[in-house]
């Protein structure tokens, strides 16, 4: 049995004092000393420090999901909304009260927990068409070029070129709602009709555009079309509380995307980026506005471009001031980029395994990231039992707490997926179903470009829901591109020099000014290249 080594001060007293906070806390568990938990030495994390982010790590089957569940329950009880991805469906148990048995009761007694079964307010979302939750979608415009390049696994040159395509679509008034819209824009740019526009972009070769187009076709063939469209999910819905004041736990079901892991991890990053762009600055709060659990976090950092990493690091660093705490959930600390790891104030490290030389190196690297402690961490981290963890958090004064071998609390909700009838009832009662349940198909880039081609030179393009200035915008678009103006008698095509000049003089500036003034939304790109709403 592993013993606590005494290095001067009594380690039990050090933990007792180090975790004796004045404000509201999440109770994680109790200190383990000489092989047994000490119910009178609690290990906790201040509620006010949760927006300093954190890490929940450990090998498969060591209890990461149950730790997340324990934290989500207490956050909800404290009135803090929670968002988490539910990859295996286990977290849906939050919607059902737990099943009392002697094993749960014994653990509760051992850590000083007053256990009683309880269900929590849950909202179920789904990514794609499969599953029982309310569908969550994003437009391609909102997703942005940087995140989409990550999903498509584009290199740096191709990512830069994709950014030019988005810029062209923005300025040309071509809404990118579905993947078909982006494919249509690229097909236009690589067609004879779009050659002048392609040349005007600069830095975008026809060959690179062709590569991006092929990747989009393959992406669509994998079923990704289901994730893009409208109505677009408003991230403010993640900050809801129930009628009794408890925070709503929003679970994003992901069973249908296990064969596309990069897509779901990047989609989670889109949600986080949208929160970053949408929420106002609030500074330090007594409790966070939202705690966001980012599961399978290693997928974010694998093969990520420099631009993507820079934007991710900036988002994590700054979103704290928006009142949002982010917990990365993964198998090993080495899965998380060091610049992100350095910003994580709370650590809940379950068992690490060291079966290979690479595992052993990762273990030693993990040990070096902890404050000096009275433990032999290399031994302890490989001998932790299920439901045990090595914990250090940020105190109310902003200093790291003593490292504590912790026996974690048991969840009060069901430690298994909720029954199908319970989940169906959650979705039926959801206030989001009426808004997001059915896909909306409005006129976007695909229809605009298809209509322009079908109508032929000089013919007006049919429109679904005309805007007040639509005909003026179409006329200016035509002037920019050197096309015949809709509703007028076709004129001889201008020479290439004149066409280039037309794109760089008054009509181009007039189009941008008019479109920006009259359209319902002005497109502005944020830190990830995502659309910033105004």
Report the run of H or E that residue 98 belongs to, with start and end.
none
Read off the pLDDT band of 346 (50, 70, 90). Answer: very high
Cβ–Cβ < 8 Å for 474, 205 = no
Cβ–Cβ < 8 Å for 83, 124 = no
Region 58-81 average pLDDT: 95
Alpha helical stretches, state H, 190-250 = 195-201, 206-221
Structure-token pair, residue 9: 């001060």
Q: How many CA atoms lie within 13 A of 44 on its CB side?
A: 24
Q: Which of 90, 173, 265, 252 is nearest to 481 (CA)?
A: 173
| Phi and psi at residue 227, to the nearest 5° | -90, -10
pLDDT at 510: 41
**pLDDT tens digits for range 140-166:** 999 899 889 988 889 988 999 999 999
Beta bridge partners of 56: 329, 348
How many angstroms separate the CA atoms of 308 and 300, rounded?
9
Mean pLDDT of the chain: 82
**pLDDT tens digits for range 376-401:** 999 999 999 999 999 999 999 999 99
SS3 for 121?
coil
Stated pTM of the model: 0.82
Residue-range domains of the chain with CATH? 14-136+233-435 (3.40.50.300), 138-229 (no CATH)
Cβ–Cβ < 8 Å for 52, 346 = yes
């Amino acid at each position: 049995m592993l013993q606590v080594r005494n290095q001067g001060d009594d380690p039990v007293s050090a933990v007792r004092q180090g975790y004796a906070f004045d404000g509201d806390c999440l109770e994680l568990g109790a200190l383990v000393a000489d092989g047994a938990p000490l119910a009178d030495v609690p290990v906790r994390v201040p509620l006010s420090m949760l927006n300093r982010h954190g890490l929940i790590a450990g090998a498969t089957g060591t209890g990461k999901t149950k730790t997340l569940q324990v934290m989500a329950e207490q956050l909800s009880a404290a009135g803090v909304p929670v968002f988490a991805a539910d990859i295996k469906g286990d977290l849906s148990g939050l919607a059902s009260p737990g099943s009392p048995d002697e094993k749960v009761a014994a653990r509760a007694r051992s850590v000083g927990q007053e256990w009683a079964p309880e269900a929590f307010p849950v909202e179920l979302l789904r990514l794609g068409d499969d599953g029982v939750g309310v569908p969550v979608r994003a437009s391609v415009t909102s997703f942005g070029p940087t995140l989409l390049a990550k999903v498509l696994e584009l290199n740096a040159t191709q990512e830069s070129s994709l950014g030019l395509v988005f810029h062209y679509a923005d300025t040309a008034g071509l809404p990118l709602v579905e993947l078909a819209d982006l494919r249509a824009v690229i097909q236009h740019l690589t067609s004879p009709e779009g050659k002048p526009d392609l040349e005007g972009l600069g830095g975008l070769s026809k060959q690179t555009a062709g590569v991006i187009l092929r990747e989009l076709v393959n992406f669509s063939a994998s079923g990704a079309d289901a994730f893009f469209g409208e109505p677009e999910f408003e991230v403010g819905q993640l900050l809801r509380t129930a009628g009794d004041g408890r925070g709503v736990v929003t679970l994003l079901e992901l069973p249908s995307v296990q064969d596309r892991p990069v897509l779901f991890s990047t989609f989670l990053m889109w949600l986080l980026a949208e929160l970053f762009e949408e929420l106002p600055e609030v500074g330090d709060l007594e409790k966070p506005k939202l705690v966001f659990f980012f599961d399978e976090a290693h997928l974010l950092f694998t093969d990520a471009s420099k631009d993507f990493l820079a934007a991710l690091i900036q988002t994590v660093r700054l979103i704290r001031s928006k009142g949002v705490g982010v917990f990365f959930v993964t198998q090993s600390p080495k899965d998380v980029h060091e610049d992100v790891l350095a910003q994580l104030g709370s650590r809940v490290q379950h068992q690490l395994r060291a079966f290979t030389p690479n595992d052993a190196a990762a273990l030693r690297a993990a040990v070096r990231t902890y404050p000096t402690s009275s433990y032999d961490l290399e031994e302890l981290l490989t001998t932790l039992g299920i439901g045990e963890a090595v914990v250090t958090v940020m105190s109310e004064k902003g200093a790291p707490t003593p490292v504590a071998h912790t026996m974690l609390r048991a969840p009060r909700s069901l430690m298994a997926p909720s029954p199908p009838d319970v989940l169906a009832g959650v979705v039926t009662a959801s206030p989001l179903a009426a808004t997001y349940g059915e896909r909306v198909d409005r006129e976007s880039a695909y229809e605009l470009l298809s209509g322009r081609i079908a109508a032929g030179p000089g013919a007006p393009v049919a429109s679904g829901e005309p805007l007040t200035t639509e005909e003026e915008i179409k006329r200016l678009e035509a002037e920019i591109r050197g096309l015949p103006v809709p509703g007028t008698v076709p004129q001889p095509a201008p020479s290439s020099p004149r066409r280039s000049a037309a794109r760089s003089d008054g009509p181009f500036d007039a189009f941008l000014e008019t479109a920006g003034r009259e359209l319902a939304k002005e497109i502005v790109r944020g830190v990830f290249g995502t659309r910033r709403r105004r």
